[in-house]
Amino acid sequence: MSHRPRLLHLAQNKADPRAWTGAFRAAIAAVGDLQLVEDGDSLSDDDAAQLIRDCEVLVTSWGARSVPASLARDPGDLTYICHLTGALRQTIPVDLIESSIPVTNWGDAQARAVAEGAVTLLLASLKSLRPRMQRIAVGDWRPTDDFRAGMLNRLDLGIYGCGFIGRCFIDMVRPFGPTLRVFDPYIDAVPEGCERVPDLETLFDLSHTVAIHAGLSPETEGTVTAQLLARLPEGGMLINTGRGAIVDQEALFAELETGRLRAGLDVLRPPEELPADHPARSWPNLILTAHSLSQPFPKTYDAADAFEPMHHICLDNLRRHVEGESLRFKMDRRRYDLST
């Protein structure tokens, strides 16, 4: 690269350690001259905007200070905003999405990890691993007479949301031979081997198990209702690695408490933590993984291997920007409105 761009990351408080690992900082230093400013929330919007105008590329991530909307009208030297992680709407206002400044995010960086987590929950719930393990731990060896487990082969599996993660999940489970049905009103076509259904009522009517891969938006919040959960059969399952607020959690817990349904949940309704004495923690038909199932845990974030797909995508887009090539995962208003 002949030109070394001036890069800026403006953190709210401290730079997020998972995003800004030692390995990533070393790699980004080979692309451009990085200024990493912390305690950005102490700056006024005018001061933050001026600091950003003096850079060519703003790299945002989890924990970044919100970007002033005034930059859409007066960007100064700013020519590109590269959002390293997800949850873009909390940091970058829609004014910038609709401005001349290109904005990208991590695209499909998390797709394989989240889809793999969903498959893990699906298989563990389907095979009832938790009650099996609990009985063995207390000295029993065989399952009880009312124990139930199933197979993915010919399972009626509904997919709610078919973006990057939903499609990756479908690719992973397809070889097992389930019957796949998809509800997603925002896509042009469903993947090969899937049946498209017109609404959530049909999806739940025709499914034994529903896996949620939709993003959280005003259109999806609270859409998995008590009425929909009641359409699942006895022993049916709900898998959620998307966002907890998509589901009526009280209604789901009511179903789980009776034992009628099973669930594998990586996410819950905010604040995403149950009280220590909440009975759901001990239900044998519920697996909880505390929104961490798809997150890698390196020995230290300063380790040489503390490098994730999001880092590769960010560096590739920075290179593309410097060399005048097309950016990957460029954000537009439609994607922005659908994103979490």
Q: Kindly report, residue by residue over 285-311, the tens digit of the pLDDT.
A: 999 999 999 887 766 888 878 899 999
% residues pLDDT > 70 (the chain): 99
Domain 6-109+298-338 class, CATH top level: alpha beta
Kindly list the domain boundaries of the chain, sorted by start residue: 6-109+298-338, 111-288
Q: What confidence tens digit (pLDDT) does each residue in 54-112 have? A: 999 999 999 999 999 999 999 999 999 999 998 899 999 999 999 999 999 999 999 99
Q: What confidence tens digit (pLDDT) does each residue in 213-267 have? A: 999 999 999 999 999 999 999 999 999 999 999 999 999 999 999 999 999 999 9
Which of the four CATH numbers 3.90.330.10, 3.40.50.920, 3.10.20.600, 3.40.50.720 does domain 111-288 have?
3.40.50.720
**Block residue for tokens 């197979």:** 151
Q: What confidence tens digit (pLDDT) does each residue in 146-175 have? A: 888 999 999 999 999 999 999 999 999 999
pLDDT score at 156: 98
Grouping H, G, I as helix, E, B as strand and the rest as coil, residue 225 is coil
| Euclidean distance between CA atoms 94 and 112, whole angstroms | 28
Query: Where is pLDDT greater, at 335 or 162?
Result: 162
pLDDT score at 303: 81
The strand pairing partners of 238, in sequence order, are 210, 263
| Euclidean distance between CA atoms 206 and 40, whole angstroms | 50
**Block residue for tokens 């009985």:** 135
Q: What interhelical angle do 309-322 and 22-29 show, nearest 10?
A: 10
Same topology for domains 6-109+298-338 and 111-288, yes or no?
yes
pLDDT score at 320: 96
